[in-house]
Amino acid sequence: MKLLSIAAIALLVFVFAPAARGASPGDVVITEIMQNPDAVSDTYGEWIELYNPTAAGIDINGWVIGDGGTEAHTITAGGSLVIPAGAFLVLGRNDDPAVNGGYTCNYKYAGITLGNAADRVVIRQGTTTIDSVAYDDGATFPDPTGASMECIDPLANNNLGSNWQECVVSTYGAGDYGTPGAPNDAWGVPSGPPVISGTRHEPAYPSSADTVLVASEVRDDEGISQVCLYYRVNGGVSQMTVMAAGSGHWFEGLIPPAADGSSVRYYVCAIDEGGHTSYDPAGAPAETYGYTVEDHLPTVVINEILASPQGDANNDGIIDAYQDEFIELYNPGATSVDVSGWTLSDDDSPTGAFIFPAGTLIPSHGFLTLFGGGSPQGFEGPVFADDGRIGNGLSNSGDTVELRRQGERIDQRTYGSEGNHGESLIRFPDGYGEWTRPSLEGFDWDYSPQASNGGSVTWTTGKSWGAIKRLFQEADE
C-alpha cells in the first residue's frame, strides 16, 4: 500500500541516507502545518513540516521559505541542513521545546507568521518553487485550532484542500494534536496483520436442521482483502467459504446443516491489503472453535438468584453477605442433565467462574444450588459452595449471571435494583416462568434454595430463621 510504504521508509530517518543532492519541484513536500496552536501562543508554537519522498538526502541550506509575497526567510544553518531520504524536517518559530509546545524544531526561522485563517507556504531553491500550499480558511482546507493540518497523500497534489485533514489522533508535548517530524496519522503505520475478535456462531447449540452463522469482527488500517471461514465435519476434508462483509467491521459466513451428533470445528482467516494474514483462534489450523450438533438439547435454566441476603440462606449458622448469596439452577426436562465442567458466575469475572466437578447431575425436575461460600447444611440434591463469593460477588444494584457449557452460554439473567430487596429473584413457576420476587406473589418466604418457587415447599424468611435459632439457643441455656 503506497502510503504505508512511505511511512515505513520514514522510520529510517538518518539511517543509511545517500548523499545529499539538488532538488526538483516535488522533491521536498510540505506535509504538515501548525498555524494555530492552542497549548502555547502562535509566537512560540507555529511550525511547518517538510518531507523528502526521494531516495537521496536533500540539503535545504540557502533555500527560502515564505508566503510568496512580503514574508520570506532564507535558511541559514551555518552549514548543510539535510533532509534524509524518506525523512522529515521541522521548521518552527521557536526551537525550545520547553516553551514551543513540546516539539523538536530542526531549524528556527524568523520573519514569517502563519495566518490562522488563509495563508500560503512556499519553499524555493533559488528561483525554482519546490512546493507551495495555499490554505483557505476552511473553504476546502481544514481550519483547526490546537491541531495541525496534515497532508493525506504526499505523492498527490498537496495544494488541494481535499488532500488535507485535521490531525485528530496523535498529540505531542503540551497536548496539541500533530505529528511533527513523524508520519502523519493519515498515512497510517505498518500495522502488521488484521485483528480478529468476537468470533461466535449462532445458534450456540445447533440442531441437524440449522445452518450455522459464524461472525467475526475484523479490523485493519490497511483495509481488508478477504476473510475466509474454514470448517470440518467429523474430521473430514476441510471446507472453505468466503465471509461476507456485514455491518461495521463484522464479517459473516455460513456452515451448512450437519447430522445429529456431528462434531464441527472451524476457524477464521483474514488477509489485509498489505498481504498480512491472521487467524482466529491464533493457533489455527491446529486450534479451532467448534460445536456438536444436537437434536435434543439439555434443558437447564437459572431459576433463582439471591444477591442481597438478609439471613442465613446456606443454613451454616453464620450470616454473611457474600457466602449466603446463591444461584439456583433447575432442570425442567424429563431426563437428568450432566453439568460436569459447566461454569456459573457473574459476567464480569469469567475467569473466576465456578466449575462443576465431574459427575454432577441435575435430576429431572430437580435443582442445583451454588452458594457463595460457607458450609451449606440440610439440603437434598446437588449443592455447592464457591470460594467465599460467586464471581466477584453478586451486586445488589445490578449484575448479570451466566451459565455456560464449554464456553457457550446456556442461560443468562440480568437484573437491576430489584436485586436489592433482601429476597430472591425467582422464576414463577419454576423453569420458564416470568421473573418476579416472592413478596410480589404473596409468598411468606424470602428465598427457597433447592426447592420449588411455586410455594408448595414451606421455607423460612431470614428473620424467622434467625428467631428460631435464637429460641433453640435459649432452650439449650
Position 136 in a domain: yes
pLDDT the model gives residue 19: 42
Q: Are residues 282 and 307 in the same domain?
A: no
Q: Are residues 51 and 166 in the same domain?
A: yes
User: Domain containing 266 — which CATH number?
Assistant: 2.60.40.10
> What is the per-residue pLDDT across 342-352, written as a single tens digit (0 to 9) for each?
999 987 766 68
Q: Are residues 439 and 323 in the same domain?
A: yes
User: Domain containing 430 — which CATH number?
Assistant: 2.60.40.1260
Position 36 in a domain: yes
Mean pLDDT, to the nearest integer, of 323-327?
A: 97
pLDDT the model gives residue 350: 61
Q: Which residues contact 315 (CB under 8 A, 6 or more apart)?
A: 376, 377, 378, 379
pLDDT the model gives residue 10: 40
Position 477 in a domain: no
Q: Of the residues 271, 292, 313, which one is the last residue of a structural domain?
A: 292
pLDDT the model gives residue 298: 64
b/e map of 441-459 (b: 16 or more CB within 10 Å)? eebebbbbbbbbbebeeeb
Q: Which three cell numbers stand for residue 397?
A: 444494584
pLDDT the model gives residue 190: 52
Q: Of the residues 130, 156, 187, which one is the last residue of a structural domain?
A: 187
pTM: 0.41
Nearest to 55 by CA among 26, 25, 17: 17
Instruction: Give 20's DSSP letter.
Output: P
Nearest to 180 by CA among 256, 266, 93, 304: 93
> What is the per-residue pLDDT across 157-172, written as a single tens digit (0 to 9) for each?
999 999 999 998 889 9
Q: Are residues 311 and 284 in the same domain?
A: no
Cis status of the peptide bond prior to 429, with omega within 30 of 0: yes
pLDDT the model gives residue 475: 40
**Domain membership of residue 398 as a residue range:** 301-472
Residue 468 has pLDDT above 50, yes or no: no
Residue 286 has pLDDT above 60, yes or no: yes
Q: Are residues 87 and 183 in the same domain?
A: yes
Position 270 in a domain: yes
* Per-chain mean pLDDT for the chain: 87
Mean pLDDT is highest, among 150-159, 187-196, 213-222, for 150-159
Position 246 in a domain: yes
pLDDT the model gives residue 411: 85
Domain count within the chain: 3
90 with 180: CB under 8 angstroms? yes
Q: Are residues 85 and 175 in the same domain?
A: yes
Nearest to 412 by CA among 305, 317, 309: 305
Q: Are residues 259 and 126 in the same domain?
A: no
pLDDT the model gives residue 412: 87
H or E stretch at 9: helix 2-10
pLDDT band at 206 (very low <50, low <70, confident <90, very high): confident
pLDDT band at 471 (very low <50, low <70, confident <90, very high): very low
pLDDT band at 16 (very low <50, low <70, confident <90, very high): very low
Q: Which three cell numbers stand for residue 4?
A: 504505508
Q: Are residues 359 and 450 in the same domain?
A: yes
pLDDT band at 41 (very low <50, low <70, confident <90, very high): very high
Q: Of the residues 187, 208, 238, which one is the last residue of a structural domain?
A: 187
Q: Are residues 231 and 334 in the same domain?
A: no
pLDDT the model gives residue 276: 86
Q: Are residues 99 and 144 in the same domain?
A: yes
Cα 268 to Cα 288: distance, rounded to the nearest angstrom? 9
pLDDT the model gives residue 459: 36
> What is the per-residue pLDDT across 65-101, written as a single tens digit (0 to 9) for each?
999 889 999 999 999 999 998 899 999 999 999 999 9
Cα 468 to Cα 324: distance, rounded to the nearest angstrom? 18
pLDDT the model gives residue 452: 93
Cα 462 to Cα 344: distance, rounded to the nearest angstrom? 25
Nearest to 465 by CA among 453, 443, 448, 452: 448
Q: Are residues 227 and 263 in the same domain?
A: yes
> What is the per-residue pLDDT across 380-407, written as a single tens digit (0 to 9) for each?
999 999 999 998 899 998 999 999 888 7
Q: Are residues 105 and 240 in the same domain?
A: no
Position 7 in a domain: yes
Instruction: Give 405's DSSP letter.
Output: E
